[in-house]
């Protein structure tokens, strides 16, 4: 009896907490499907009455009252492509580089704590401080407004964290396994590739997911280093909806939904690994 009451109480609290965490998401999603007259109302339209796809198609009268050509959602495609390439590229490269380094640090203690501290300190460098020097450098290398510019700078803040987590992860893998491989004549790299990597898959997947999420949402550097549909990512694309004389809330929400959907789907798919991978290997039985 008491346990039943407890379970109900727990569920009630959970639901209340969920309202706080989910309502903003709900509001964004529903606004994306509301016609212009319902974006703002008093009382607010909690449950949408009429649903429309106009915010996605740029249909109806458009944002500027004159058939909003430059802001129709069909234009989102190149930006979506850029975001996918940049975030995937960052996630893959960052995980690979971090795994190599993490393994070396974990097994051979290369550099020790000072080196690890230095890696972490890189993550602390405020991206704003790096913006102009990077702009100048990338101009010399002809990398401005390219995917590589973004992948490279995103790597600097995703990789250090991944190294940190993966060190603990590799620490957990019994040394006997690599030693056995060594005895069989494998090189350190082969041992890493064939023995250690498969065993640390959850950690790698978790780091890939987090790197993906971070790169996907990065705003400041993408703003400065890219300028056209060739390389601009979705968060930058969203900015164009906030115009001088009108905030187009519906299309903005629609574009926001398109922006968040891939990353949400990706991370929900990876959730299992996130749960296992994010314990940093710090908790041991």
Partner 1 sequence: MGPTKRRWLTVVTGLVALLLAAPLRPAWTQAPVTLNVWASPDNADALADIGQRFTQANPTIKITVTPISWEVLYPRMLADIASRTGAFDVATWDVMTAGAMAPGFVDLAKFREDNPRLVDPAYDLKDFHPTIWHIGGVWAGKNIGIPFYNNTMLFYYRKDHFANPTLQAKFKTQYGRDLKPPTTWQETVDVAKFFTKKFNPDSPTDYGIALMFPRTHTLFYMYVLFFAPYRRSQDGLKKFGPVDLDYGDYFTAKKEPAFATPEGVKAVEDMKALLPYSPDPLGADYGETLESFARGTVAMVPQWTGVWAAFREAAALKPIEQKVGVALMPGGHSVSGIWGLGINVASKHKPEAFRFLQFATNKANDKAKFIKFGVAPARMSTLKDPEARRLDPRVPVLEATYPTQGYRPRIPQEPKLEDITVGVLSEMLGGKRPITVAELAKLADEWAKLLK
Partner 2 sequence: MILPLVALLVGLSAYPFVYMLYMSAHTYNLAQWTPPRYVGTANFVQMARDSTMRASLVFTGLMAGIALPVELLLGLGLALLLRGVVGERVWRSLLLLPMMIPAVVAGIAWKMLYNFEFGPVNYALSKFGLERISWLGDFTAARIGLIIIDIWQWTPFVFLVLYAGLQNVPRDLVESATVDGAGGWAVTRFIELPFLAPLIWVVLIVRLIDILKLFDIVYMTTFGGPGSATHPLSFYIYKVGVSFGWDVGYGSALSMLLLAVITLLTNVLIRILHIDRLLELERA
Positions touching partner 1 (CB under 8 A) are 36-37, 40-42, 61-62, 64-71, 132, 135-136, 139, 144-145, 223-224, 227-229, 239-247, 249
Whether 202 contacts 273, CB under 8 Å: yes
Q: Radius of gyration (Cα) for the chain, nearest Å?
A: 23
Q: How many CB atoms lie within 10 A of CB 84?
A: 16
- How many residues of this chain bind partner 2 (CB under 8 A)? 102
User: What is the footprint of partner 2 within residues 214-233 (CB under 8 A)?
Assistant: 216-217, 219-220, 224
Collapsing DSSP to helix, strand or coil, 109 comes out as coil
The one of partner 2, partner 1, none whose footprint includes residue 219, by CB under 5 to 8 A per kind, is: partner 2
Write the DSSP symbol of residue 36. G
Which C-beta is closer to partner 1: that of 125 or that of 239? Answer: 239
Rounded Cα distance between 64 and 243, Å, is 10
The whole-angstrom separation of Cα 132 and Cα 138 is 10
Contact 207, 215 (CB under 8 A): no
Among 50, 120, 190, 201, contact with partner 2 (rule: CB under 8 A): 120
Whole-number Å distance between alpha carbons of 211 and 222: 15
Among partner 1, partner 2, none, the one that 144 touches (CB under a kind-dependent 5 to 8 A) is partner 1
Tokens 């569920």 appear where? 11
Shortest distance in whole angstroms from residue 230 CB to partner 2 = 20
Partner interacting with residue 7 (select from partner 1, partner 2, none; CB below 5-8 Å by kind): partner 2
Minimum distance, C-beta of residue 179 to partner 2, in the bound complex (Å): 17
Partner whose binding site includes residue 180, from partner 1, partner 2, none (CB under 5 to 8 Å by kind): none
| Between 7 and 132, CB nearer to partner 1 | 132
Q: If binding is defined by CB under 8 A, does position 141 make contact with partner 2?
A: no
| Calpha distance 143→141 (Å, rounded) | 5
Examine residue 190 and tell whether it contacts partner 2 (CB under 8 A): no
Q: Is 57 in the site for partner 2 (CB under 8 A)?
A: no
Choosing from 72, 73, 80, 260, the residue that interacts with partner 2 (CB under 8 A) is: 260
CA–CA dist 207, 130 (Å, integer): 24
- List of residues 6+ apart from 171 with CB closer than 8 A: 106, 281
How far is C-alpha 262 from the chain's CA centre?
Answer: 10
**Among positions 84, 85, 97, 229, the unique one binding partner 2 when judged by CB under 8 A:** 97
SS (H, E, C) 216-279: HHCCHHHHHHCCCCCCCCHHHHHHCCECCCCECHHHHHHHHHHHHHHHHHHHHHCHHHHHHHCC
Residue nearer to partner 1 on the CB measure, 36 or 188: 36
Shortest distance in whole angstroms from residue 184 CB to partner 2: 20
Give the binding range for partner 2 (CB under 8 A) out of 49-57, 63-71, 122-130, 178-186: 122-130
């Amino acid at each position: 009896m008491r346990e039943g009451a407890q379970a109900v109480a727990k569920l009630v609290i959970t639901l209340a907490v969920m309202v706080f965490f989910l309502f903003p998401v709900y509001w964004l999603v529903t606004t994306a499907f509301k016609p212009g007259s319902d974006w703002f109302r008093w009382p607010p339209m909690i449950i949408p009455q009429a649903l429309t796809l106009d915010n996605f198609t740029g249909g109806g009268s458009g944002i500027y009252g004159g058939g909003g050509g430059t802001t129709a959602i069909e234009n989102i495609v190149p930006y979506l492509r850029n975001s996918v390439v940049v975030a995937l590229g960052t996630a893959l490269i960052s995980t690979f580089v971090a795994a190599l380094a993490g393994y070396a640090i974990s097994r051979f203690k290369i550099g020790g704590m000072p080196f690890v501290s230095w890696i972490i300190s890189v993550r602390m460098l405020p991206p704003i401080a790096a913006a102009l020097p990077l702009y100048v450098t990338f101009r010399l290398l002809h990398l401005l407004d390219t995917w590589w510019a973004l992948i490279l700078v995103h790597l600097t803040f995703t990789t250090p964290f991944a190294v940190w987590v993966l060190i603990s992860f590799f620490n957990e893998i019994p040394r006997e396994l690599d030693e056995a491989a060594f005895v069989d004549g494998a090189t350190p790299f082969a041992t890493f590739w064939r023995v250690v990597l498969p065993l640390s898959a959850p950690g790698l997947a978790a780091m890939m997911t987090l790197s993906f999420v971070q790169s996907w949402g990065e705003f400041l550097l993408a703003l400065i280093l890219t300028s056209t549909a060739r390389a601009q990512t979705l968060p930058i694309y969203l900015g164009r909806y906030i115009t001088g004389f009108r905030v187009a809330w519906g299309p903005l929400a629609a574009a926001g939904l398109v922006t968040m959907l891939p990353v949400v789907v990706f991370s929900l798919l990876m959730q299992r690994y996130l749960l296992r991978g994010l314990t940093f290997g710090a908790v041991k039985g």
